[in-house]
Amino acid sequence: MMDGQRGKKPERGEMTDLAIWTLPVWVLTFLVGTALGQAPPEGRWIGACSAPHIYRHFVIYIDKDDKGDLNGFYLEPLKPENMMSKVSSITSRGQRIGFRMQDSDRNLSFDGTLSANGLAGWMQTMKGKAKCHFLHVLKTPPDLLRKATGTYRVSENRIIVVNPEMRWLYFYDTLTHETRRLSPLSETKFVFGPNRGIHYPVEGEVTFEKNNAGNFVALSIKLKDKQEALHATRAKFYEDHEITFENQNVKLAGTLRVPLGKGPFPAVVLLQGSSPQTRWGVDGFEGFLADHLARHGIAVLLFDKRGAGESGGTATDDYATRTADTLAGIRLLRTRPEVDGQRIGLWGLSQGGQIEPWVAEQAKVAFLVNTGGSTVNSNDQEVQRTELQLRFDGFSEAETKDAVAFQRLKFQYACHRDNWEKYEEAYDRFKTARWFPDPYVGPPSAKTDTAWDFWKCGEEPAKAWEHYQGPVLLTFGEYEGYSSIPEDLRTFRDAMKKAGNTGYDIRIIKGAEHSMGVARNGGERELALVKRLDPEYFQIIREWMLKHFQAPQFGY
């Protein structure tokens, strides 16, 4: 993964170890446990269970409640639904620990032994026993996320970018385009697995170096099958300014990333997809794009969606609310002396790309870049997503046909509220189907569910596109799994024709899925296996933006 030109190992300078009494409580808890020869049962565990008939990855969370009892839940990264399930009946006696895990209405039982090397034991499944090993990893507190976030230079053409996403760190190698999630073993030592969503077995380690002030000044990456480590020194390519702005009496928080040098600079607002997301995006993707653009002379505004991260309010994917929040961000940018208020563009991923034309109806923008944002009716897009993802994930044609028919029933009721009995009958018939739970369908079971009022008859992005006459870059991954590319292109071109707009470019990114990860297909089961971002995507976006900003290129 880390092949290529290797930089010179940075000088350590006057590095110092922190005194034990200055360590955070979360580190002390871990050290006390390991000093006694075993890791504590509480915390996060990453690992896998294997046998001739089984190989399953797990992330397990165990905590103590107010009464001192152990409770927990677990996730399976390779399951598309990736839903939290309960860990129950946890027993801990000395080095022995046991628990039960709910699995499709059946219990998996685990019995194992704690040690300094982790947790090893056996899991009883319906098909027999599987051998398991789990590694204890720590929670990553916000102050550590802030300390580690940054850019680390390996060489003139290679940078390691470290960004947070919720409570995890992710890194991105600009030369190899590899990206991984980092799981902390201590304040400065992290491990990563073979894929972005699979964190065990350990493929390598990232170790950060601190100076006397406690600042992270360098890092090294060591792969398990290589003797030599890759070293990188923290470098400064731009300034990050923490900002806040308001919409509808809700405070929104974000980061304004400003290139080094003399401004004012052109700027772009990054808009994430659906679901609660921080400014950095899912798996840190928006943060990696922001790094790339800022190093090339474009200021970037990233902000936490309402109800996520440091932003207030209630989380929502309401199109009008997201549009209004974005407009408030643009108004903020136009007050900043570092930004050229006449050269502000928008970039949006998925739903972020869908809302762009509504924003442009109310604010003059330099351009729109839409990545994977469908242009058809949003309810029709959900039907297309179900069909595409089931096919990508290997479901039969009969299963796919049933799921698509059910989705159409669901959205018919959302729009017209006239077929509840038919919907309810189908719900009971299909509720045990493999495709029924999220992320494929995930239907409401009651008339009172608020989802009906959100879906209604769907949103019509094409209607807004019909009014936009500025430059547009529309991009899709070759393996788009959230909407039908032919339908999107037909609808988009029709809208541009009505707008009298010929200033648009369309790019299909070969080998990429919806979020520009290099993939074999666009299915949900593929997402955990992504390990690289498309090597050309960031370059395409940057060159197109600079062309339409008519700005000189900075950096490299």
Whole-number Cα distances in Å, 459 to 290, 307, 432, 484, 497: 28, 22, 30, 16, 20
pLDDT digits (tens, 9 = 90+) for 363-381: 999 999 999 999 999 999 9
pLDDT-derived band of residue 142, with 50, 70 and 90 as boundaries?
confident
Lowest pLDDT segment from 103-112, 236-245, 296-305: 103-112
The dotted CATH code for 238-375+460-549 is 3.40.50.1820
Dist CA 528 CA 179 (whole Å): 12
DSSP class per residue in 329-364: HHHHHTT-TTEEEEEEEEEEETHHHHHHHHHHHHS-
Q: Measured between alpha carbons, how far is 442 from 427 in angstroms, rounded to an integer?
A: 11
Residue 553 pLDDT > 70, yes or no? no
Q: Coil, helix or strand for 403?
A: helix
For the residues 347-356, what does the mean pLDDT come to? 98
| Cβ contacts of 230 within 8 Å, gap of 6 or more | 2, 6, 7, 154, 160, 220, 221, 222
pLDDT, position 37:
46
- Dist CA 399 CA 422 (whole Å): 19
DSSP string, 505-550: EEEEEEEEETTSBB-SS--HHHHTT--BB-TTHHHHHHHHHHHHHT
Residue found under tokens 């006057």: 14
User: To 10 degrees, the CA torsion angle through 523, 526, 532, 535?
Assistant: -20
In percent, the amount of the chain with pLDDT more than 90 equals 78
Would the pLDDT of 11 be above 50?
no
For the stretch 396-437, pLDDT in tens is 999 999 999 999 999 999 999 999 999 999 999 999 999 999
What single-letter DSSP state applies at residue 224? Answer: T
- Which CATH architecture fits 141-235? Beta Barrel (2.40)
Number of Cβ atoms within 10 Å of the Cβ of 313: 17
pLDDT tens-digit series, residues 484-531 = 999 999 999 999 999 999 999 999 999 999 999 999 999 998 999 999
Radius of gyration of the chain (CA): 24
Q: Is residue 218 over pLDDT 90?
A: yes
Are 504 and 474 spatial neighbours (Cβ–Cβ below 8 Å)?
yes
Q: Where are the domains of the chain?
A: 25-137, 141-235, 238-375+460-549, 378-455
- Segments in 149-209 forming alpha helices (H): none
494's tokens: 């029709």
Query: Which range, of 95-109, 326-340, 389-403, 473-487, averages the lowest pLDDT?
Result: 95-109
What do you get for the CA distance between the two ends of the chain, in Å? 22
Q: Is the pLDDT of residue 33 over 80?
A: no
Which pLDDT belongs to residue 99?
A: 93
**472-479 β-sheet, strand order:** 238-247, 250-259, 299-303, 265-271, 339-349, 368-371, 472-479, 504-513
Token pair for residue 429?
A: 């018939």
pTM: 0.90
- The reply to whether domains 25-137 and 141-235 share a CATH topology is yes
Tens digits of residue pLDDT in 154-213: 999 999 999 998 889 999 999 999 999 999 999 999 999 999 999 999 999 999 999 999
State how far the Cα of 160 lies from the Cα of 175, in Å rounded to an integer.
9
What is the rounded average pLDDT of the residues 105-123? 87
Question: What's the DSSP call for residue 11?
Answer: P
Rounded to whole angstroms, the Cα distance separating 304 from 309 reads 6
Task: From 449, 1, 446, select the one nearest 196 (Cα to Cα).
Answer: 1
Please give the pLDDT value at position 34: 43
Tell me the pLDDT band of 82, cut-offs 50, 70 and 90. low
Task: Report the CATH number of the 25-137 domain.
Answer: 2.40.128.120
pLDDT tier for residue 38 given thresholds of 50, 70 and 90? low
Whole-angstrom distance, CA of residue 244 vs CA of residue 251: 7
